[in-house]
């Protein structure tokens, strides 16, 4: 792999192109549109040139997004981002759709290597079939509502303990051994969130209406199958998602109930309340492993090195190229992400560290995404660097688990063991949450036009199914509105089951690693290097795991996790 970020050679797109200016992009699209595509060589050259153009546009979007999220209080950066999304991208989408049609109608398409390009052809054919120019305006409106949603969340502060906190800065209180403090913190945050429910629910209703309209425009009666195609879910459908929900209900829910009973017993409680889930049940004080970005980087660097020295070398590229912005500060958007800058083919990592172990876990996760991006650098075709989300999250969640096995490189044995146990328990708990959010979306989009009360009732039923043992008495309204805190429902419809699919794969990578480290790492890296060039089940197979959402698969994985939790 080429680690040195050599400047890409632009064969088609001028290096001076300003990809934020539609008039500069149009002649390049027109050039591609006009070329003869009679021979395979012509078509392959065309695909590479198109990749150059789309990579430059993608990189422009990425840089503006990064700039905005790093400085949400900078109006100019926000405007630059919005300009790109609202004025440039709608035009680009129409031009890109015309290229899809040009590609699909190319005389040379029949002679193209169907095995090598199968995933590309399948993707472009579907994209083209569901594309409607009228939907670009609806997508613009959707993005506007999503920006409003982010602005509301970003503006929320909780007065607590004599100072203002972001919602994220409240997290350390939930780890406190002082139960009364945890409860006060939970209730303080809830009181503030509650005041925003009406406006958030308004936004959500408008998003649902827009999404329903987009599906109708494309000839679908309901949004679900349209969105599955839009997300490129070719290798599984709604039936597999429902199978996954049942498997979680039967295998994971009982295991979490068992862990919760044990947690309640250790904490001396009859039942767990919502503020009893993050505290260390063995009475250990909260672990605060670092204070600065430098220290956070050093911890993860040591862990990556222990997993495999190549990961350390790759992480050092990100440090050297200043592609890390990891600490929470005022004026920064919430959350964490990895974003590939497609022009230089290097990843950028954004996070909001506050000094807790969870931040280390986040950097291991985003590190996994970054290694994935770096391992795909050699693909000149943009579509091959664009790996499926399910595989992306497999890369990141696997790296969390591999890192967990090597935390001793940076933590005391006690701290490492406690973090490992907490993470493994968290995996089971999050699987019940993933199933809840996914089941909720299948319910909502399957019943367009239901009332807000019906929606709440549906959520309550789902939570009775997946988390029956938590005690929400006196907080029934908060339980009924719990879903509204899940930002994916607003920003990425139906994007959530991917985490469940990926976790199932990551648990298999982790098991492989405990059996044979060398071979597990070799397969992990080989699978990542395939990028998006193969269908999902093949990518999984290359990583040494099975694409299987069934009850029997989950039963074995849950037993393994429970055995590992018990072993410490």
Cβ closer to Zn ion: 396 or 432? Answer: 396
Span from 394-402, 477-485, 504-512, 524-532 in contact with Zn ion (CB under 5 A): 394-402
Span from 301-309, 324-332, 388-396, 471-479 in contact with Zn ion (CB under 5 A): 388-396
| Of positions 51, 150, 224, 396, contacts Zn ion by CB under 5 A | 396
Which residues sit opposite 347 in a β-bridge?
340
User: One symbol per residue from 338 to 377: x for binding Zn ion (CB under 5 A), - otherwise; what is it?
Assistant: ----------------------------------------
Residue with token string 């005391």: 412
Span from 65-73, 312-320, 396-404, 423-431 in contact with Zn ion (CB under 5 A): 396-404
Distance between CA 207 and CA 257 in Å, rounded? Answer: 35
Question: Is residue 146 a contact partner of residue 491, using CB atoms and an 8 Å limit?
Answer: yes
Shortest-Cβ-distance residue relative to Zn ion: 396
Span from 77-85, 134-142, 390-398, 508-516 in contact with Zn ion (CB under 5 A): 390-398
Least distance (Å) from Zn ion to the CB of residue 396?
A: 4
Of 69, 63, 67, 28, give the one whose Cα is nearest residue 46.
28
Residue with token string 């919760």: 260
Distance between CA 528 and CA 372 in Å, rounded? Answer: 5
Residue with token string 């991917």: 498
Residue 388 vs residues 13, 22, 232, 533: alpha-carbon distances, Å = 26, 28, 8, 10
Least distance (Å) from Zn ion to the CB of residue 389?
A: 9
Which run of H or E residues covers position 321?
Answer: none
Least distance (Å) from Zn ion to the CB of residue 393?
A: 5
Span from 35-43, 356-364, 389-397, 417-425 in contact with Zn ion (CB under 5 A): 389-397
Least distance (Å) from Zn ion to the CB of residue 329?
A: 22
Residue 287 vs residues 283, 297, 322, 358: alpha-carbon distances, Å = 12, 17, 28, 10
User: One symbol per residue from 123 to 142: x for binding Zn ion (CB under 5 A), - otherwise; what is it?
Assistant: --------------------
Cβ closer to Zn ion: 77 or 525? Answer: 525
State CA 34 to chain mean position distance. 37
What is the chain's Cα-based Rg?
24
The encoded tokens of residue 201 equal 């629910």
Cβ closer to Zn ion: 350 or 547? Answer: 350
Site for Zn ion in 275-334 (CB under 5 A): none
Question: Is residue 90 a contact partner of residue 353, using CB atoms and an 8 Å limit?
Answer: no
Apex 137 CA angle, 136 and 139, nearest 5: 60
Question: Is residue 3 a contact partner of residue 69, using CB atoms and an 8 Å limit?
Answer: no
Least distance (Å) from Zn ion to the CB of residue 89?
A: 23
Which run of H or E residues covers position 340?
Answer: strand 337-341
Least distance (Å) from Zn ion to the CB of residue 130?
A: 26
Question: Is residue 218 a contact partner of residue 135, using CB atoms and an 8 Å limit?
Answer: yes
Least distance (Å) from Zn ion to the CB of residue 365?
A: 6
Least distance (Å) from Zn ion to the CB of residue 296?
A: 18
Cβ closer to Zn ion: 396 or 533? Answer: 396
Cβ closer to Zn ion: 200 or 324? Answer: 324
Query: Contact between 176 and Zn ion (CB under 5 A)?
Result: no
Q: 143: how many CB neighbours lie within 10 A of its CB?
A: 16
User: One symbol per residue from 233 to 272: x for binding Zn ion (CB under 5 A), - otherwise; what is it?
Assistant: ----------------------------------------
Distance between CA 325 and CA 353 in Å, rounded? Answer: 9
Cβ closer to Zn ion: 210 or 360? Answer: 360
Positions in the binding site for Zn ion (CB under 5 A): 396
């Amino acid at each position: 792999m080429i680690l040195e970020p050599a400047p890409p050679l632009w064969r088609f797109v001028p290096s001076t192109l300003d990809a934020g200016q539609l008039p500069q992009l149009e002649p390049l699209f027109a050039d591609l549109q006009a070329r003869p595509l009679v021979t395979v060589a012509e078509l392959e050259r065309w695909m590479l040139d198109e990749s150059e153009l789309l990579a430059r546009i993608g990189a422009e979007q990425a840089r503006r997004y990064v700039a905005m999220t790093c400085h949400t209080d900078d109006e100019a950066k926000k405007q630059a981002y919005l300009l790109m999304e609202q004025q440039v991208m709608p035009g680009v989408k129409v031009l890109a759709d015309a290229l899809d049609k040009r590609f699909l109608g190319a005389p040379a398409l029949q002679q193209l290597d169907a095995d090598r390009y199968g995933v590309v052809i399948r993707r472009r054919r579907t994209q083209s079939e569901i594309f409607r120019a009228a939907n670009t305006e609806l997508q613009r409106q959707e993005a506007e509502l999503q920006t409003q949603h982010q602005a509301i969340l970003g503006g929320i502060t909780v007065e607590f303990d004599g100072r203002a906190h972001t919602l994220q800065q409240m997290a350390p209180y939930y780890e406190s051994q002082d139960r009364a403090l945890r409860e006060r913190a939970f209730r303080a945050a809830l009181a503030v969130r509650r005041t925003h429910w009406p406006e958030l629910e308004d936004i959500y209703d408008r998003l649902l209406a827009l999404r329903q309209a987009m599906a109708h425009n494309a000839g679908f009666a309901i949004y679900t199958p349209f969105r599955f195609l839009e997300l490129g879910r070719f290798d599984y459908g709604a039936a597999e998602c429902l199978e996954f929900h049942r498997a979680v209900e039967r295998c994971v829910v009982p295991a979490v109930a068992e862990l919760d009973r044990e947690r309640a017993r250790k904490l001396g409680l009859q039942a767990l309340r919502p503020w009893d889930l993050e505290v260390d049940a063995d009475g250990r004080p909260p672990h605060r492993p670092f204070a600065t970005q430098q220290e956070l980087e050093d911890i993860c660097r040591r862990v990556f090195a222990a997993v495999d020295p190549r990961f350390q070398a790759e992480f050092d590229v990100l440090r050297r190229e200043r592609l890390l912005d990891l600490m929470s500060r005022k004026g920064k958007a919430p959350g964490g992400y990895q974003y590939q800058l497609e022009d230089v083919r290097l990843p950028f990592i954004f996070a909001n560290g506050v000094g807790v172990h969870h931040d280390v876990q986040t950097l291991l996760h985003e590190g996994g995404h970054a290694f994935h991006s770096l391992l795909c650098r050699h693909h000149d075709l943009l579509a091959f660097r664009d790996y499926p989300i399910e595989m992306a999250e497999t890369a990141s969640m696997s790296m969390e688990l591999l890192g967990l096995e090597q935390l001793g490189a940076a933590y005391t044995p006690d701290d490492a063991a406690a973090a490992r146990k907490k993470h493994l328990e968290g995996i089971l708990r999050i699987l019940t949450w993933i199933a809840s959010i996914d089941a909720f979306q299948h319910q909502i989009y399957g019943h367009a036009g239901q009332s807000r009360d019906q929606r709440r009732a549906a959520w309550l039923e789902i939570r009775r199914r997946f988390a029956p043992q938590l005690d929400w008495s006196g907080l029934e309204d908060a339980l009924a509105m719990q879903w509204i805190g899940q930002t994916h429902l607003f920003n990425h419809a139906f994007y959530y089951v991917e985490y469940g699919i990926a976790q199932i794969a990551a648990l298999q990578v982790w098991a492989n690693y405990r059996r044979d480290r060398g071979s597990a790492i070799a397969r992990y890296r080989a699978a990542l290097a395939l990028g998006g060039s193969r269908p999902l089940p093949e990518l999984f197979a290359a990583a040494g795991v099975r694409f299987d959402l069934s009850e029997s698969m989950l039963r074995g994985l849950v037993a393994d996790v429970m055995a590992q939790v018990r072993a410490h």
